[in-house]
Amino acid sequence: MMTQRGLLIVLSGPSGVGKGTVRKAIFEEDGIDFQYSISATTRQPRIGEVNGEDYFFVSREAFEEKISNGDMLEYAQYVNNYYGTPKSFIDETLASGRDVFLEIDVQGALQVKSKMPEGVYIFLTPPDLTNLRERLVGRGTDSQEVIEKRVTAARDELKQMINYDYAVENDQVVFAVERIKSIITAERLRVARVFEKTL
Amino acid sequence: MMTQRGLLIVLSGPSGVGKGTVRKAIFEEDGIDFQYSISATTRQPRIGEVNGEDYFFVSREAFEEKISNGDMLEYAQYVNNYYGTPKSFIDETLASGRDVFLEIDVQGALQVKSKMPEGVYIFLTPPDLTNLRERLVGRGTDSQEVIEKRVTAARDELKQMINYDYAVENDQVVFAVERIKSIITAERLRVARVFEKTL
């Protein structure tokens, strides 16, 4: 008998959709014991920040070594500092049986997925994408041109969705949280994962 | 905009696992509006049975024509009568946007899956399969031989599980129902299905 491996849960979506709010609400739920994915950075710790809690604070050399080792699931540079997601920390946490939760932008999520396709990839969508054209037409206040522009913009956002396993509408945070909890419950019951913990 | 196609939900599992009890409990839940899959049969209606509610009562010729048309998702003969699951009824219900729930034995579920692989296939497992060997050894009351026999029998049941999407332990009916509801919620959020109802 093996310990069942934890789930990697990746929450992503367009900027402004409310990923951070939904993530915080999930972590406040009863019975949730996810490890939040801790980023590595080369920037200096601020007062009160704790290494291994807020960030893994590493030197530029150490960060670049992790990149060339393939230990960065994704990374980016801002203001001359690196920020990234170390794979080893996630791997060890999952192996211990604990789930890891990663909230990340769309570019980062794609990088992570290329290295850990076994994760559960959830795309948070704005509430007004579903049935957009129908609603705009029904409302009767927008010109055909405005409707086409809005539908095209929405379609561009939705194109990113195809890389994900699930699409969760963020109409209300409590509903989004319930949907994500159902997804996680269901994913734990997937036969491929259940086999690991039997016999 | 299209109506989102309904889900075909197939609940199966070893005989005696409690499929019927779990199915009844699901249909009694608030907010559940599944169409129960109605079987076709060549046997005579009993008093009080209604065609199109309890069964589709058809002649032997009509049933055999459905078989040769490929309209029987699965069928079997008992006591000189045919019993089977007509595909057209399920297709029409799904196309109308309503979910269809089918409770069926393991042989039937495999036949259905070969024809409608897009369904959600749930295997209900007895509560005592998980970690069986560990628990038997830990209990310390069974000989090594007895333990091996029970583990082998359990392994045979579990082998059927590999054909399903989800495995749900029936430790308590209320828990099994909650798990199945989470699976259905999650499946409705799968990107492949959500795309159908957007733009």
CATH number for position B153: 3.40.50.300
Alpha-carbon distance B194 to nearest alpha carbon in chain A (angstroms): 7
DSSP H helices in chain B: 19-27, 60-69, 87-95, 106-115, 132-139, 144-161, 173-188, 191-194
Within 8 A of B2 by CB-CB distance, chain A residues are none
What is the pLDDT at residue A197?
59
**A189 vs B166: CB contact, 8 Å cut-off?**
yes
pLDDT band at residue A198 using 50, 70 and 90 as cut-offs: low
Same domain, B147 and B52: no
Examine the fold and report which residue of A51, A76, A98 is the final residue of a domain before the chain moves on.
A98
Residue B110 sits in the same domain as residue B17: yes
pLDDT, average across residues B6-16: 91
Residue owning tokens 């010109």? A143
B156 and B125 co-located in one domain: yes
Question: If you count residue pairs, one on A and one on B, with CB atoms under 8 Å apart, how many are there?
Answer: 102
Tell me the average pLDDT of chain A: 89
Write down the pLDDT at residue B1.
43
Q: How far apart are the first and last CA of chain B?
A: 6
- The residue with greater pLDDT, B53 or B2, is B53
Which among A134, A162, A186 is the nearest to B186, CB-wise? A186
Could B130 and A197 be called an inter-chain contact, meaning their C-beta atoms sit closer than 8 Å?
yes
Tell whether A27 and A119 lie within a shared domain: yes
pLDDT at A133 over 70: yes
pLDDT value of position A43: 94
Tokens for B16, please give them. Answer: 């005696």
Domain shared by A106 and A196, yes or no = yes
One domain, residues B52 and B128: no
Number of separate domains in chain A: 2
What pLDDT sits at residue B137?
Answer: 85
Q: How far apart are CA A56 and CA B147, in angstroms?
A: 47
Domain endpoint, select from B97, B128, B148: B97
Would the pLDDT of B12 be above 60?
Answer: yes
Confidence of residue A1 (pLDDT cuts 50, 70, 90): very low
Q: Any idea which residue has 């070969």 for tokens?
A: B114
pLDDT bracket for residue B194 (50, 70, 90) = confident
Owning domain of residue B69: 38-97
What's the average model confidence in pLDDT over B92-103? 94
CATH number for position B69: 3.30.63.10
* Residue A2 in contact with partner chain B when CB distance is under 8 A: no
Same domain for B187 and B105: yes
Both B175 and B81 in one domain: the answer is: no
What is the per-residue pLDDT across B139-157, written as a single tens digit (0 to 9) for each? 888 888 988 887 887 777 7
**Res B98 pLDDT > 50:** yes
Domain match, B121 and B91 both: no
Q: Count CB-CB contacts under 10 A for residue B39.
A: 18
- Please give the pLDDT value at position B126: 83
Final residue in a domain of this structure, among A62, A80, A98: A98
Q: Which of A166-180, B104-118, B127-141 is least confident?
A: B127-141
Question: Greatest CA span in chain A, whole angstroms?
Answer: 63
Same-domain pairing of B113 and B23: yes
Mean pLDDT for A104-114 is 92
Q: pLDDT, tens digit, for every residue of A137-193?
A: 888 888 889 888 878 877 777 788 999 999 999 999 999 999 999 999 999 999 988
Are the beta carbons of A199 and B1 separated by less than 8 Å?
no
Q: B42 and B137, same structural domain?
A: no
Same domain for B128 and B196, yes or no, is yes
Q: Tell me, what's the pLDDT at B160?
A: 86
